[in-house]
Amino acid sequence: MAHSAVAAVAVPRSRKSLVQGREALPAADPEKRKRLLHAAVQTFGRRGFHEAKIAEIASEAGVAEGTVYLYFRNKEDLLGCIFDETMDGVLSEARAIRGKEGAAGEKLKKLVGLHLSFLAQDRDLASVFQIELRRSARLVERFSRTKLTEYFRLLDGVLREGIASGELRTDLDPRLAVRILFGAADEILSEWLLAGESKPAADAEELVGTLLRGFLACEKNTTDRRVPRRSRRTS
């Protein structure tokens, strides 16, 4: 979504938590909160959200189990904060990319590159985003209605800029194009994570470049390769 991931997760926030119905508790020790979030990423990523225990997260962070509840209500609260605070960092970078002068194609490469790089640099975080978050219907709904929606709007804005400037084809449907871009990046990350490869199968240059060029050969080559019609037989 762009996006350093652990650094983004660790940013303490004094404003109200995005966890519905709860006001964030003031962190007496920001560094301790940072350790807890980092430990949660590692534990959820390696053990899975449902299998992970609060005691394991506390042990990984080097604190007593009860300390966790001074900062977070429960496991779902921890998972939600990982998502919200990571995406805050990603979206901040994405807005900066969107706001700069430049060609739409280059902006799309940078936005997709942000999506790929912020997860590809940390397998535990990638597992949290690609697998664990999607196991909670409530978090999937929250994911779709808040941060992901803004990311889609940023992509949509860049696509519309490209259409208006003549860089992109005028009959392009931005809504469909956004989902193609996101879906392709999402699948590349999921395949990389599940296959255990050292790096994703494609980068933003390859992915966006392929989509911008399309799958068809150029008109000249297509014309040259046409199969000649057979002449009618004469009796």
Reported as a single tens digit per residue, the pLDDT across 207-219 is 999 999 998 886 5
Q: What distance, in Å, lies between the first and last C-alpha atoms of the chain? A: 67
Q: pTM for the complete prediction?
A: 0.78
> In the predicted model, is pLDDT for residue 83 greater than 60?
yes
Provide the H-helix boundaries in the chain. 5-9, 30-47, 54-61, 65-68, 75-99, 104-120, 123-127, 137-145, 147-165, 174-195, 204-213, 219-224
> In the predicted model, is pLDDT for residue 33 greater than 60?
yes
> CB of 113 within 8 A of CB of 206?
no
Give me the pLDDT at residue 147, please: 86
Give me the pLDDT at residue 222, please: 46
> In the predicted model, is pLDDT for residue 99 greater than 70?
yes
* Tokens (6 digits) for 109: 């490469």
Give me the pLDDT at residue 146, please: 80
Measured distance CA(61)–CA(78) in Å, rounded: 13
Q: Which of 202, 160, 168, 172 is nearest to 185 (CA)?
A: 202
> In the predicted model, is pLDDT for residue 234 greater than 50?
no
Backbone angles phi, psi at 60, to 5 degrees: -60, -35
